[in-house]
Structures are given as C-alpha cells and as structure tokens.
Amino acid sequence: MQSDRLRPGDRVVVRAPSDILASLDGSGALGGVPFMPEMLRYYGRIFTVSRRVEKICDTICPVGSRRMVDTVFLDDLRCDGSGHDGCQAACRLYWKDDWLARMAPNALPPRRPDDAALTALARVAEANARQARNREYHRCQATEAPRASTKLHGWDLRQYLREAQSGNVTWGRMLAMLAFRILPWELRGLLRRPAAQLPRERRKRGAPQPPPLDLQPGEWVEVRSPIEIARTLDRNNSHRGLYFSAPEMATECGKRYRVRRRVSRIIEESSGRMLIMKNDCIELEGPVCTGDRSFGRWFCPREIYPYWREAWLRRVAAPAPAAARTVEAVVTSS
C-alpha cells in the first residue's frame, strides 16, 4: 500500500481541465476509465473521498467482482445522464487519482480554468461519449468497466485485505463478514446450494395482481412482504422481465420509503444501447445495493439503486413531519 494514496475522508479538488486532458489517451480515458461530459461541472470544487474503488461488481458478465486500481468515489457524486441522452441509471462517478489533488488545510480555492482548455476537454469528453463504430450506441464508465478492470476470483483473499488496508471498511467489520457471511456463502456457492431468500410460492396463471399505482416522485410507499412479492414472480424471480434481487432487496420488506423517481431509460452496460422501459420501474430514496449480501460481489462500493415494480410496493400516507425528518436524517447518514 502506498502511503500517499488518497483514502476515505481525504479532502480533494478536481484538477484543472488542462491537467485532466493531458492524462487522457486517444479514447478520452485514463486506465480504461473515460472522463465523461457529466464530470465537467465539478472542476475546481472540493469533495471528500468516500471510498477507494479497489473492486467493483461485474454487472456485464455476472456473477463476480473485478479489480480496479487508482480510482476513488467522491461523496455521492452520480452521473445525471446529461451527456448520454438522459440515461437514468445514476451510476456513481469513477475518479482516477490523477484527476484529483489533495487539499491542504489552508489552501486557496483554485483559479478559474483557461476557457480554451475547458472547451478542449469538453470536446474530447463529448466525442467519446459515443462508440466509434456505431454512433447510435453509447460509451460511458459503466460500459467500459471491463476494460478498466481485471477479473477477481472469489477465493482471492487479497481483495478483502485491500478493503481494510485502504480504509474502506474497519477490521472488525471485515473479520465479521469473513466469518459469518463471505466464507459460508462462498462454500454454499461451490456446493451450488444458494440460500433461500423468498418463499417458494410463485405466481399462478390467472391469479390477480396488485393494481397499478402510477407512483410519482415524493410519494411514500411500503415494500410488500416476501410472500406478496413472491406471488408476483415467475420461475426466474422476475415480474414482467424485471428481476427481483432477493439477497439485497428482500431486506427492505416492510420498510417505508419515498419515491425518488420513475425510471424510463437506461444504457445497457453490455452493449451501450439505450433501453426504454416498457413497464413501470421505480427508484426509491435510500435503499441501495451494499454488496454485503450478494454472493461473489462482497464490498462492492457502487451502491446501485435497485429497480422496483409497483406490484412490489403499496402506497402509504406520508409520515408526520417529525417522523419524516427522522427518516431523512437516517437516509442521509447511511
């Protein structure tokens, strides 16, 4: 481990456009990670390193994890899709160490960048937001993740050591996860005996389904019980094509959240094409995938928002103002 590497809690500033531009290769990337148009507005602003990205979950060739180097996450900065036709995946942005500078305690704010350098960086980022062979297909940090990382084996214990050494997790949490979750689940995976997360009851042909809710941002919902959700799923644990990831999502059953937004378009990571959602797809404020319960993807820091069908939710009244403030405080601090 290098002592000068950025660590969680470090205060950093995004370097000048000329510095970032000089670090990019012919495809507008550094170490396989593209610098995207959505990142331009963060120049000169000060952020806190929230995690070193030592590994990421593989959402293109699952199930597994991939090794990434010299990369961090800042606060909860997410891609807003403005440079990729309004993609709503809201992925956390990868920042290469070379794009950032550690802030000294009494450092002055950075000076305004040279307009020509900022324009040149924007031109490169925008030109590389599409695939060279097919300009109708997108190119982003999510689609390029396989080229920016290498495959990890589940039994490579060095990946867990790095999580503790980098400051991403405490040694206590690491040892507890190894003893009570990672090793038992990895053994179960080798024996091809996945842990049961939902009742065996499945949707019966012709059985009535919950009515559509037409949920809108700001409304409050409660996640239905495991039995109710199981009754909406087919043999592939899906409802109208949307997979219910039981290990991460079943823990939310019975909890109440506010609707963050309706999702209508996301980029398919494996191809770069834009997918248009044909059915309801809901994002909730608060719950994200933690990587703590997903076989082969332990400690993934991406914090992807799960997608919910309205059939898995029920509308509830908004909590009293005092209770709502408490919920918001909990969500903000988690």
The domain boundary, picked from 152, 176, 204, lies at 152
> How many domains are contained in the chain?
3
DSSP 210: P
Answer yes or no: is 197 within a domain: no
From its phi and psi, is residue 79 left (phi > 0), alpha (psi between -120 and 50) or beta? beta
Average pLDDT over residues 89-101: 97
237 and 320 part of one domain:
yes
125 and 47 part of one domain:
yes
Distance between CA atoms of residues 263 and 37, nearest Å: 21
**Per-residue pLDDT tens digits for 165-213:** 999 999 888 888 877 666 666 565 544 444 446 666 665 555 677 889 9
Structure confidence at residue 155 as a pLDDT band (50, 70, 90): confident
**Cβ atoms 8, 49 nearer than 8 A:** yes
Token duo for residue 69: 């180097």
Average pLDDT over residues 95-101: 96
**Cβ atoms 289, 300 nearer than 8 A:** yes
Answer yes or no: is 209 within a domain: no
164 and 116 part of one domain:
no
**Cβ atoms 166, 54 nearer than 8 A:** yes
Question: Domain range spanning residue 182?
Answer: 158-190
**Cβ atoms 72, 52 nearer than 8 A:** yes
239 and 180 part of one domain:
no
**Per-residue pLDDT tens digits for 129-148:** 999 889 899 999 999 999 99
Token duo for residue 162: 């790095």
128 and 49 part of one domain:
yes
22 and 148 part of one domain:
yes
Answer yes or no: is 267 within a domain: yes
Per DSSP bridges, beta strands 238-239 and 95-96 are unpaired
258 and 292 part of one domain:
yes
Three-state helix/strand/coil letters over 123-145: HHHHHCCECCCCCCCECCCCCCH
**Cβ atoms 232, 210 nearer than 8 A:** yes
